[in-house]
Structure 1
Amino acid sequence: MSRVWEVPVDDATRVRDARTAAREACLRAGLAAPRTAVAELVATELATNLLKHAGGGRMVVNLVARPADGAGTSVQLVSLDNGPGIADVPAALRDGYTTADVSLGAGLGSCGRRANSFHLYSVPDCGTVAVARIDPEPAGRGTARDDMPAGGITVALARAERSGDAWGWARSDGLLTLLLADGLGPGPHAADAAGVAVAELRRGAGLPPVDILRRLHTALRPTRGAAVAVAQVDAERAELSYAGIGDVRARLRTGDTWTSLESHPGIVGAHIPAHVSLRRVPWRRDSLLVVHSDGLPGRWVPPEDPHLLGHDPSVVAATILRDAGSPARPVRDDTSVAVLAPDRRTSTHDSHL
């Protein structure tokens, strides 16, 4: 899932580019024509809104794990901007509402109805983040949305086609395991290493984090290696376990306090320490874990807005990525941000006004 499509939306021709990116991603994911058409519609509407209402922004398209068990592939469409925000969110989410001359007339409400998952976060004078997920199967009418327990976003350095970073998650009995891998260096070889790590997680998700890292160490030996973080939630014990090797970083929010979780020096697949410590902490209803690669600026400021922190993890991750960089301070490497949160999210389209 290392293929990344990032489209700067700064003029009308870029709307077509966003639609093309959605189509290509659906082809990679093996989605049928009707679901591809939905992805194209959503991408067009989001890109049009960026131009008309935000003065531009960017679209990021990722391939992500499906929500049921972390296996299979869906398409995630993310629009990010630093525009004026949405003045009337309820109106904007009304099916068929639009004020854009070049819009399909579908509106954000239709995007939410057609996508399997749609989340919108907007703050006046700060901008808007929208995340839509398109699964192979249509969203069932009148049924609860099947949202992911973890969320993330990945971009490539200089808008390359493949990112050397990857994240994934898997369930095993009562355990939920999140992994983020940063392949050594940029380019396809780094992407291959990160991809091997995510694939291997699904075969060993029931193991403790340190054992997963050691298993990955063997699996990654034929590759150039990677920095890897593994976080695992035991719902029955209400406990989070974390272990990391290399330049991957994690911050845990509990209540109003952010705490850094340290990783050991090393490269999984090349050399790892004989002893890797495991950090265990309580996993509460107000907990939030952010794991990221070193492409994110080291001094990024953790979000404090309770409206954002209550959103789907994919929105939190995308907002952190957006706010950590800027055109004047672009990311300096492949970058991946993954977020894990208890099931305490607010309404799908909750926004801060």
Structure 2
Amino acid sequence: MSRVWEVPVHDSTRVRDARIAAREACGESGLAPARTAAAELVATELATNLLRHADGGRMVVNLVEPPDGTGTSVQLFSLDQGPGIPDVGAALRDGYSTADGSLGAGLGSCLRSANAFHLFSRPGRGTVATARIDPEPAGRGAPTAQLPAGGITVALGQAGDSGDAWGWARSGGTLTMLLADGLGHGPKAAHASTEAVRELRRAAHLPPGEILRRLHTALRPTRGAAVTVAQVDTDRAELSVAGVGNVGGRVRTGESWSSLVTHPGIVGAYFPAQVPVRRLPWRPDSLLVLYSDGLPSRWTPPEDPGLLAHDPSVVAAAILRDAGSPARPVRDDTTVAVLAPDRRTRTHDSRF
């Protein structure tokens, strides 16, 4: 879903802006007042922490599909490159604070309010937090909902519409993830990429090459998009990837990363006669990253085992944060989507 809210948080006035962004996202997704209040609380706490503990950062708000596929959820991201949190486990407990005058309830309230809350921090390198607010509150005592896929989308110049979109769907023993980059920017590009994600949900039973051909037909009324489709056959432990256009991909197996090559073309406008499909083993330590061309071309894949074993939404947000800087800002709509084996179980890195 291509609606994006991005708020740089470098002074106290932007805490209110982060809260308003969360409220607007909830209005867009149709969340009830109680869930909207939860999102506003999380946004306020995360933005306040950026000022108190990291000397600023940025909040990003996306719309995503909840685990049950019903309705629309609000995903909040907090990104900073500050001093980091020495003890994440302690920071999540009520009463813990390193700031004078604080009650120390901020991160704990985020953990209680969100349906899924994930936090990753490294001393000297900063912190990434993600919180998902679903249409229905999490049951008391229920475990955090874990998803095998996660992503983050930002728009060029902090515009409201991103031309990128990502999504995922299950069909029997297969899990399919897609990233689409609509041609150009703005609402028309967003329309093309959003249509690609919608069609994926109807075509997830097909192999990647066939999904792309079906997308080509569905996107003809739009301006078209670059699209990469990745599919995991869990029964065969195999990953299949096919792409048309300049959506990049990298896959990690063991301790090495390899790049995935896509075929030139435009889904919905110019479709090649043949689309190569690359097949790779999908192991418990595998990780797939798809990214649009807004990410700097020379970005470096993460090697931190703690990060790589984390929730996919956190991995995606950390890649986006670390690939850019004030001296090297994103030059396009940018999306990073991560697919991982169903092994994520923690809300934070308990080693720190």
For residues 144 and 19 of structure 2, the distance between their equivalents in structure 1, rounded to whole angstroms, comes to: 24
For residues 104 and 73 of structure 1, the distance between their equivalents in structure 2, rounded to whole angstroms, comes to: 33
Change (3 A) 1:191 1:101: farther
Corresponding residue of 2:80: 81
Show structure 1 runs of 4+ deviating over 6 A: 101-104
Corresponding residue of 1:232: 231
Equivalent position SS for 1:323: helix
For residues 229 and 102 of structure 1, the distance between their equivalents in structure 2, rounded to whole angstroms, comes to: 49
Corresponding residue of 2:15: 15
Corresponding residue of 1:308: 307
Corresponding residue of 1:109: 108
Matched-pair contact (CA < 8 Å) for 2:10–2:56 = yes
| TM-score computed with the length of structure 2 as normaliser | 0.97
Q: Tell me the matched-pair count.
A: 352
Displacement after TM superposition at 1:100 (Å): 4.8
Displacement after TM superposition at 1:147 (Å): 1.9
Displacement after TM superposition at 1:71 (Å): 4.8
Displacement after TM superposition at 1:91 (Å): 2.1
Displacement after TM superposition at 1:352 (Å): 5.3
Deviations 1:108-144 (A, max 9, x none): 0121122100000000111000000000111112222
Corresponding residue of 1:175: 174
Corresponding residue of 1:119: 118
For residues 340 and 16 of structure 2, the distance between their equivalents in structure 1, rounded to whole angstroms, comes to: 35
Aligned residue type for 2:108: G
Change (3 A) 1:219 1:174: same
For residues 305 and 316 of structure 1, the distance between their equivalents in structure 2, rounded to whole angstroms, comes to: 10
Matched-pair contact (CA < 8 Å) for 2:212–2:229 = yes
Task: Identify the range of structure 1 (94-103 vs 273-282) with the bigger mean alpha-carbon deviation.
Answer: 94-103
Deviations 1:242-289 (A, max 9, x none): 000000000000000101111000000000111111111110000000
For residues 45 and 103 of structure 1, the distance between their equivalents in structure 2, rounded to whole angstroms, comes to: 11
Displacement after TM superposition at 1:82 (Å): 0.4
1:340 correspondence with 2:339: yes
Matched-pair contact (CA < 8 Å) for 1:121–1:352 = no
For residues 44 and 100 of structure 1, the distance between their equivalents in structure 2, rounded to whole angstroms, comes to: 16
Matched-pair contact (CA < 8 Å) for 2:78–2:128 = yes
Corresponding residue of 2:65: 65
Matched-pair contact (CA < 8 Å) for 1:122–1:351 = no
Aligned residue type for 2:31: L
Instruction: Give matches, 1:288-303, under 5 Å.
Output: 288-303=287-302
Equivalent position SS for 2:202: coil
| TM-score computed with the length of structure 1 as normaliser | 0.97
Q: Which residues of structure 1 form unaligned runs of 5+?
A: none
Deviations 1:11-46 (A, max 9, x none): 000000000000010111111011111100000000
Displacement after TM superposition at 1:99 (Å): 4.8
